[in-house]
Amino acid sequence: MTSSLRLRAGLVSIALLAAFLGVWHLATRSAGPTAAMSPEYAKLMGLTATQGKSAMPGPLDVGAKLWEHLKRPFYDNGPNDKGLGIQLAYSIARVGTGYLLAVLVAIPLGFLIGMSPLLSKALDPFIQVLKPISPLAWMPLALYTIKDSSISAIFVIFICSIWPMLLNTVFGVASVRKEWINVARTLEVGTFRRAFTVILPAAAPTILTGMRISIGIAWLVIVAAEMLVGGTGIGYFVWNEWNNLSITNVIIAILLIGVVGMLLDQILARFTRMVTFPE
Partner 1 sequence: MSTFDNPFDPDRNLRAGCVCGQHQSAAEHEQASALRCDPVESEEKRYEGVVASAVMRAMFPQDVARRAFLKSVGASTALAALSQFFPIKTATEVFADTGTPEKKDLKVGFIPITCATPIIMAAPLGFYSKHGLNVDVVKTAGWAVIRDKTINKEYDAAHMLAPMPIAISLGLGANAIPFTVPAIENINGQGITLAMKHKDKRDPKDWKGMKFAIPFDYSMHNYLLRYYLAENGIDPDTDVQLRSVPPPEMVANLRADNIDGFLAPDNICQRAIYDGVGFMHLLSKEIWDGHPCCSFAASKEFITTAPNSFAALTRAIVDATAYASKAENRKQIAEAIAPANYINAPVTVLEQVLTGTYADGLGGVKTDAKRVDFDPFPWQSFAVWMLTQMKRWGQIKGDVDYKAVAEQVYLATDTKKLMTEMGLSPPESAYKSFAVMGKTFDPTKPDDYVASFKIRKAS
Our CB check for partner 1 shows the closer of 76 and 279 to be: 76
Our CB check for partner 1 shows the closer of 81 and 124 to be: 81
Q: Which residues contact 177 (CB under 8 A, 6 or more apart)?
A: 202
Calpha distance 146→148 (Å, rounded):
6
- Which chain residues interact with partner 1 by CB under 8 A? 34, 37-38, 40-41, 43-46, 48-49, 55, 77-81, 140, 143-144, 147-149, 227-231, 236, 239-245
Shortest distance (Å) from residue 45 CB to partner 1: 6
Q: Would you give the distance in Å from CA 239 to the centre of its chain?
A: 17
Our CB check for partner 1 shows the closer of 51 and 272 to be: 51
Our CB check for partner 1 shows the closer of 144 and 277 to be: 144
Shortest distance (Å) from residue 195 CB to partner 1: 42
Shortest distance (Å) from residue 231 CB to partner 1: 7
123 in Cβ contact with 163 (< 8 Å): no
Shortest distance (Å) from residue 228 CB to partner 1: 6
Shortest distance (Å) from residue 79 CB to partner 1: 5
Shortest distance (Å) from residue 156 CB to partner 1: 14
Task: Give the torsion sign (CA, 78, 80, 85, 87).
Answer: positive
DSSP string computed for 83-138: -HHHHHHHHHHHHHHHHHHHHHHHHHHHHHHHH-HHHHHHHHHHHHHHTT--HHHH
Shortest distance (Å) from residue 35 CB to partner 1: 8
Our CB check for partner 1 shows the closer of 87 and 209 to be: 87
Our CB check for partner 1 shows the closer of 53 and 212 to be: 53
CA neighbor of 110 nearest in space, from 191, 173, 156: 173
Our CB check for partner 1 shows the closer of 143 and 217 to be: 143
Q: Where are the alpha helices (DSSP H) in the chain?
A: 2-27, 39-43, 47-50, 59-71, 84-115, 117-130, 135-146, 149-174, 178-186, 191-194, 200-229, 234-243, 247-275
Beta bridge partners of 76: 82
198 in Cβ contact with 243 (< 8 Å): no
